[in-house]
Chain A
Amino acid sequence: MALAHSDNHAEALHPDDASPAPTLRLLTVEGERTTRGEDADRVADIDDAALAELYTKMVVLRRIDAEGTALQRQGQLALWAPCTGQEAAQIGAAQAFRDTDFLFPTYRDHGVIHSRGVAPAEVMRQWRGASHGGWDPHVKSLAPVQIIIGAQTLHAVGYAMGAVFDGRGGAAVAFLGDGATSQGDANEAMVFAASYRAPVLFFLENNQFAISEPVTLQSRTPLVDRPRGFGIRSVRVDGNDVLAVLSATRDALARIDAGEGPQYIEAVTYRRGAHTTADDPTRYRDAELAAWWERQDPLARVEAHLCSRGADVDALAAAATGEADGVAAELRAAVVGMSEDDPELLFTHVYAEPHARLDEQRRDYLDYLAATTPETVTEGGAQA
Chain B
Amino acid sequence: MSTLTLAKSINAALDEALSADERVVIMGEDIGRLGGVFRVTDGLQAKHGERRVVDTPLAESGIVGTAVGLTYRGFRPVVEIQFDGFVFPAFDQIVAQVAKLGYRTDGRHRVPMVIRIPFGGKLGSPEHHSESPESYFLHTPGLRVVSPGTPQDAHDLLLQAIASDDPVVYLEPKRRYYESAQVRLDALAEAPGMGRAVVRSAGDDVTLVAYGPLVRTAMEAAASAAEDGIGVEVVDLRSLSPMDYDTVCASVRRTGRLVVAHEASRTGGLGAELSAVVTERCFEYLEHAPVRVTGFDIPYPPAQLEEHHVPDRDRILDGIDHALGRLDGIGLSAPAETARVEGGAL
Contact = CB atoms under 8 A, between A and B. Distances in A.
Contacts of B92: 148, 151, 185
Contact of A188 (B54, B65, B109): B65
Contact of B68 (A135, A158, A166): A158
Nearest to B241: A357
B106 A159 contact: no
Interface in B11-56: 25, 51-52, 54, 56
B142 A350 contact: yes
Nearest to A190: B62
Interface string A120-161: 000000000001110111100001100010010111111111
A154 B64 CA distance: 8
B72 A154 contact: no
A308 B144 CA distance: 63
A166 B66 contact: no
Nearest to A195: B57
A188 B75 contact: no
Nearest to A156: B69
A133 B75 CA distance: 22
B165 to A, nearest CB: 4
B110 interface: yes
Interface in B91-110: 92-93, 96-97, 100-110
B69 A191 contact: no
A164 B68 contact: no
B301 interface: no
Contacts of B241: 357
Interface in A178-221: 184-185, 188-189, 191-192, 195
A: interface residue count bin: 35 or more
Nearest to A141: B72
Contact of A151 (B96, B105, B245): B96
B166 A148 contact: no
B203 interface: no
Contacts of A357: 241-243, 245
Q: Is the interface of A mostly helix, strand, loop or mixed?
A: helix
Contacts of A104: 69
B243 A158 contact: no
A349 B66 contact: no
A192 B66 contact: yes
A172 interface: yes
Given A161-B69, A163-B73, A356 B102 contact: no
A349 B111 CA distance: 12
Interface residues of B, number: 51
A163 to B, nearest CB: 7
Interface in B207-256: 241-246
A193 to B, nearest CB: 9
A352 interface: yes
Nearest to A200: B69
Q: Which of B65, B70, B92, B107 has the most CB of A within 10 A?
A: B65
A153 B68 CA distance: 11
Contact of A133 (B57, B104, B242): B104
B275 interface: no
A192 B59 contact: yes
A356 B62 contact: no
B109 A162 contact: no
A4 to B, nearest CB: 35
B70 A350 contact: no
Contact of A154 (B65, B74, B142): B65
Contact of A352 (B51, B57, B102): B102
Contact of B72 (A155, A188, A355): A155
Given A154-B93, A189-B62, A350-B142, A132 B104 contact: yes
Given A351-B142, A353-B164, A154 B70 contact: no
Nearest to B62: A188
17 contacts: A102-B73, A143-B72, A143-B109, A144-B101, A144-B104, A151-B92, A153-B65, A154-B93, A155-B66, A161-B69, A161-B70, A162-B69, A188-B61, A349-B106, A352-B102, A353-B166, A356-B242
Given A144-B109, A192-B59, A352-B166, 18 more contacts: A132-B104, A137-B72, A151-B65, A154-B65, A154-B68, A159-B69, A161-B69, A162-B69, A162-B73, A164-B51, A166-B75, A188-B57, A188-B61, A188-B62, A192-B56, A195-B57, A352-B110, A357-B243
Which 10 residue pairs spanning A and B have beta carbons closest together? A158-B69, A154-B65, A162-B73, A158-B66, A188-B62, A352-B165, A349-B107, A155-B69, A159-B69, A357-B242
